[in-house]
Each structure stands twice: as structure tokens, then as C-alpha cells.
Structure 1
Amino acid sequence: MPRLVYITGASSGIGQALALQYYQEGWSLALVARRVEELTAWAESQRLAPSRWRVYRADVSDIADITATGRRCIEEQGLPDVVIANAGISIGMDTAVEEDLAVMQRIYATNNVGMAATFQPFVTPMRERRSGTLVGIASVAGVRGLPGHGAYSSSKAAVFTYCESLRGECRPDGVRVVTIAPGYIDTPLTRQNRYRMPFLMQPEAFAKRAFEAIEAGARVRFIPWQMGVVARVMHVLPGAVFDRLLVGRPRKHRQGE
């Protein structure tokens, strides 16, 4: 039987690229998205064998919805070997604008609570089986806070520490937790950015490297590797130097801009 991967946010961008990469490697797919019709049309256009994929409609920011979807996957396809909590949103915010607080709430609900809720149905059965891999998608933007990225950067910083905590909890039971931190990937999400994006990578190339990192059981992997160097430099820069470097940097688009 082919191994099974469960991927949220699979209807576009890196989620879709990861789905295709896993399929090409011989895996079966459990694909989760809000836009089920769009995802189904994509799978059919790729001529994926019907016996090797299934689509589930769910909103990861709705705890009851996404946890029920995980349980349904186990019932219908079996316990996955890999679960990738990929669904996420990136919107700029300005703390001086009251309505942007709701944007922050929505980002945390999706990027953080949604990640934990995605993993929740699988943790106990993977521990009982003593195998499995949980994958959190972080971002280089989570290494330091960037102007206009207050919600997104902090949500991705939380992914690093949340996955580290979960790794310590699951490791004694044979369950691996992998954190993948993309740099700039050419997706509909990043094409709206109004600032320079060094080492921009195509989603297919990202998916191949992410697959390799997950298979290797990497603790944390920055992709592409150049952004890992950038992340290390950002991490050790003194605050005063970092602040000066950000002066005049374009801010991320806010909702509606």
C-alpha cells in the first residue's frame, strides 16, 4: 500500500506543489482545503489516479471542523504517515488601526491554533503506532519582526517554538516533528509583495527540497539554504543595527490595499 500524506492548504501555492511532489514519489494523498471544487479540478487536470487521492473540505481556523476532518481521514483512508499543516495566511497590519486587530486574530487562528488543531487528531494514534511525522510550515519572516508584518512574523515565530515543544513531547513515542521554513516562494501570496524578494524560488523546487527534508526527519530546515544563512545573520544582528536596516523598508499590504 502507498504511504499516505495529509496536507492542508492544498488548493494552491506550496501546498499544491507538495501534493504533486508526494504523488510523484508514489504516495497517496489526503488533501484539505476550503476551495474543494478548485482542488478537485486541479487533481483531475493532473490525471492523478482516483484511487490515490481524496479531497476534504475544511477551514483550519474552525477547530471543530478541522479536527473532525482529521478523524474522517483516519476512518476513510487510514492513519497518515505524514501530516503537513501548510494552511496559512499572510496579511499586513498596522496596530494603530483598530480593525487590523481582527486581522491579527484571524492570522493567529489560522497559522497557530489551526496548526495545532490540524495535528490534534493524529497525535495519539501516531504515538500508539510509534511512527509518523508532523510537519509545521514556518517562515524566515518568523526569525525577526518586520515592519507591517506584526501579525504574520509573530505567528511564524510561534510556529518555531510550538513545533519545538511538540517535538519534545512526541519524540519519546517515535513521532517526528519537522519544521520547514520557506524563504520567498513564487506563489499568489508572494506576488503581491512590494519589496525585493531575494532567492525567490519556484514552488516545484521548494516541494522537492521539502520532501527530502521531511523524509530525512530534519528538525528545522530553511528552504532555500541561502535563506537559512540570511536567517542566522538576522538572528545574531544587534537590535540597533537591525532597526537601522529596516528604515524605509516597504510594508506588507494591509487587508483591502
Structure 2
Amino acid sequence: MLLYFKYLSILFRSQMQYRTSFWLLTFGQLLLPFAVFAGLYFLFSRFGELQGWSFFEAALCFGVIHMAFSLSECFVRGFDMFSSLVVSGEFDRLLVRPRSTVVQVLGSKFEFTRFGRLVQSAAVLGWALRNLPIAWTPLKALTLLMMVAGGILIFSGIFILNATLCFWTVQGLEVGNVLTDGGREMAQYPLNIYHKRVTLFFTFIIPFGCVSYLPLLFLLGRAEGHGLLYALLPLTSILFLLPCLAVWQIGVRHYRSTGS
């Protein structure tokens, strides 16, 4: 972790060498998601509710998912941009260093301008929480934090899986965006508005439902049965991340240099 934070410090200082560019990009990242949120707002303004969900209930789901995505894009950007290391042959240097390739790839790229998106999602989340009559308890507060953390782990796992494909394809494939950008757009709404097969896939295969929809039921007092089970569901994101890391190690063992 000391090495990871060293990477973090070095790249942050390098990006701050061009401060005007940094702040303009951050401001742009702040404005872009408002178009997506505007779509959510006008949808509820026109129809009032969506499958029994109010605007602020959906906004809570929106804020959690977008906050998780913003943080994963910032701190796991190295895996999203991993194909450049394979194409240039730079990954060869990582292999001969006496440190984990996972830590080194994580430290190869940070996108601090994504904090603009983080501010926007945090504002939406705070607005939703202020307007929802949630009876807060320590467990509910912990559940909300685990929802965001679990979302980060799921997005990170998808980035890792997409990066692993580069060991065989060299160039990154756009198919990964179906689960990252597409997963974000899908998970920003409560899952029960979708077809049952979609709900099952994004609950048991890519467990977005376990970090957004199902814990949300617990926060809002809609959970059926024991609430503790719903509260702890974000922990299943660890069960998703571990196989992704195992697949990454398989990819590393099958890596063949491009000779660049």
C-alpha cells in the first residue's frame, strides 16, 4: 500500500503541473453527468413515479452507483487503459519488478479529474437523503457506505476482466463498456423495473443488484424478511472481485510480449 500511495502522489503532482487544464477537465466532468440526471428528473416530472418508486428513491440509487463509478474510474483507471501497456511492451518492465502486477497496473494511471463526477453524484446523493424519511441507525449508515464500496469493487472487477482480455487480443475491446458504462446506466435505476432475466443476471452474475437495489430496500424499510441479510449483501461484491483477480493471474501467466 505504501507503493500504491507513492504512485498516487507522483501522478497527482504530475497532473497538477497543468492546473488550468486539470480544473477545466474536472469542471467538464462535473457538468457532463447532469445531462444524465436531467433525464431522470424529467422522467419523474412527467410520470410522477416509476414502478412504485419515487424520484428521490431513484435518485438515491443514482447517487450511489455514480459515486462508485466515479471512484473506480479515478483509482482503477490503470486497468481501463491497460491495453496501452501491452501494445507498447511496457508491461514487460512490470513483470521483472519485485511487486504485484495488480498494484503496479493500478498505480500506472489515476484520473483525478473524475472528482468532478464525484462531486455531482455526492450532491445528488445528499439531496435524496435529505428528502427521504429514512429512520437512520448505525447499521443503515454502514450499509450505505458498503453500497458505495461494493459498487467500486464490482466496477473494478469488470475493469480487470476487460484488461485481462488484452493478453489475448492486445487491443482493448469495446465489449467491456457494455458492463461498465452500460452497467452504470442500468444500475442507476431500481432493478425491478427491468425484465426478470435482466434482474437475475445483474444480481447473481454481475451483482449490481446486491450493492444498489436490494440494500436500498433495507434503507427504505421495504425489505421482506430479515433486514440484516439485505444490509450485508454489498459484501458479495468481494465474491465477484476475487474470481476477477484469479482470471487476471491466469492472463499474466499466458502473456506473450508484443516485442515493441
The structure whose Rg is larger is: 2
TM-score, normalised to structure 2's length? 0.31
Tell which has more relative contact order, 1 or 2 (C-alpha 8 A, sep 6+): 2
Choose between structure 1 and 2: higher helix proportion: 2
TM-score, normalised to structure 1's length? 0.31
Choose between structure 1 and 2: higher strand proportion: 1
